[in-house]
Amino acid sequence: MIIDTHCHLIDEAFHQDIEAVIDSALKADVRQMVLACCDETEFPQIVALSQSYPDILFSTIGIHPENIAADIHQQFDTLFGALAPLDGNAPSDAQPGIVAVGEIGLDLHWDKSRLDDQKEILRMQTEWALDHDLPVLLHIRDAMPQFLDLCRTTLCPMASERSKQLRGILHCYSGNAEQAKEALSLGDFYFGIGGTLTYKKSLVPEVAQAIGIERIVLETDAPYLAPVPHRGRRNEPAYTADTCRALAEILHISAEEVAQKTTKNARNLLKI
Ligand SMILES: [Zn+2]
């Protein structure tokens, strides 16, 4: 079986046919899907959808760096304040079915003016994840040096203060092999590989070879970034199977081994 560790099934692209989409995923042996949360408006919808598919769909909670509000502290309180207070409860007590805090991170692709706010809300959300013993689902775009720096100076020390290790997925990994190695020296990270692996001139195959299967998890980021041969159309979790086959070819192992090992990695991290 295969796990899609990152998709956006509450996106309006799926409003008409969500049942069929989940059905084709199951038929393609994609039996579990993690719903990435981008802000406080998405969270209730994600929880509602995942509750209609227990053991198949899983919720996350988080504020995407491109979705930060003018007042990040108020936004943080709106989303996380509705849950149980930080009293050492298990995440399942705070809100059933949350498997990670995400997608959170840094994005300097379009707007570079709010890097300080992006860093601060990433720190706050990572702290919440550590206090609830949850992994983080990271969105890092054009900001790997800044992210590694924040890990070194702030996030990792925060984890060690709690005698924990920072753990999570670098979703849609677009850094280089050297940066992946550095991330692994700082925390317990896995690298999310999706459709971009299959694109012409993509650097992801080379990076995936350097990282190795023991640290890779599969994802779609559906409805975005469909893998070849579906490129340009709506992406959906069933296509994780296409990425699985492409990765098998690149790593010179069988698709079964890719499925088995990436599923084991995702389970280790997300406890699903
Ligand atoms: Zn995403």
Q: What is the pLDDT of residues 81-107, one digit of tens each?
A: 877 554 444 444 456 679 999 999 999
Nearest Cα to Cα of residue 135 among 114, 104, 161: 104
Q: Is 161 exposed, middle or buried (0-12, 13-18, 19+ CB in 10 A)?
A: exposed
What is the predicted pLDDT for the residue at 81? 86
Q: In angstroms, what is the span from residue 38 Cα to ligand 1's centroid?
A: 8
Q: What 3-state class would DSSP assign to 128?
A: helix
Q: What's the chain's average pLDDT?
A: 94
What is the predicted pLDDT for the residue at 96? 63
Bridge partner residues of 216 (DSSP) = 191
Q: In angstroms, what is the span from residue 4 Cα to ligand 1's centroid?
A: 12
> Phi and psi of 86, rounded to 5°?
-75, 80
Question: What's the Rg (C-alpha) of the chain?
Answer: 17
**AA letter at 222:** A
**What is the number of alpha carbons within 13 Å of residue 248 lying toward its C-beta?**
15
Q: What is the pLDDT of residues 139-168, one digit of tens each?
A: 999 999 999 999 999 999 999 999 999 999
Q: Is the dihedral angle over the CA atoms 1, 235, 39, 45 positive or is it negative? A: negative
Q: Which residues contact 183 (CB under 8 A, 6 or more apart)?
A: 148, 151, 170, 175, 189
Bridge partner residues of 258 (DSSP) = none
Helix or strand holding residue 167 (H, E):
strand 167-171
What is the predicted pLDDT for the residue at 82? 73
Instruction: Please say if the pLDDT value at position 51 is more than 80.
Output: yes
Q: In angstroms, what is the span from residue 7 Cα to ligand 1's centroid?
A: 6
> Phi and psi of 156, rounded to 5°?
-70, -45
- Entry pTM: 0.95
Instruction: Please say if the pLDDT value at position 125 is more than 80.
Output: yes
Q: What 3-state class would DSSP assign to 124?
A: helix
| 141, 107 contact by CB (below 8 A) | yes
CATH 3.30.365.10 for domain 2-270, yes or no, is no
Return residues with CB closer than 5 A to ligand 1 (ion): 36, 221
Q: In angstroms, what is the span from residue 6 Cα to ligand 1's centroid?
A: 6
Instruction: Give the Cα separation of 103 and 120 in Å (integer).
Output: 15
Q: Which residue has the higher pLDDT, 53 or 89?
A: 53
Q: What is the pLDDT of residues 204-225, one digit of tens each?
A: 999 999 999 999 999 999 999 9
Q: Could you give the C-alpha distances from 193 to 109, 206, 213, 217, 249, in angstroms and in order?
A: 19, 12, 11, 6, 14
Tokens of 228: 């070849």
Q: In angstroms, what is the span from residue 257 Cα to ligand 1's centroid?
A: 25
Q: In angstroms, what is the span from residue 194 Cα to ligand 1's centroid?
A: 11
210-244 as b/e, with b when 16 or more CB fall inside 10 Å?
A: ebebebbbbbbbbbebbbbebbeeebbbbbbbbbb
- Neighbouring CB atoms inside 10 A of 249's CB total 13
Beta-strand relationship, 98-107 and 2-7: unpaired
Any idea which residue has 């990076």 for tokens?
207
Q: In angstroms, what is the span from residue 202 Cα to ligand 1's centroid?
A: 19
Q: Which residue has the higher pLDDT, 66 or 81?
A: 66
Any idea which residue has 């989409």 for tokens?
21
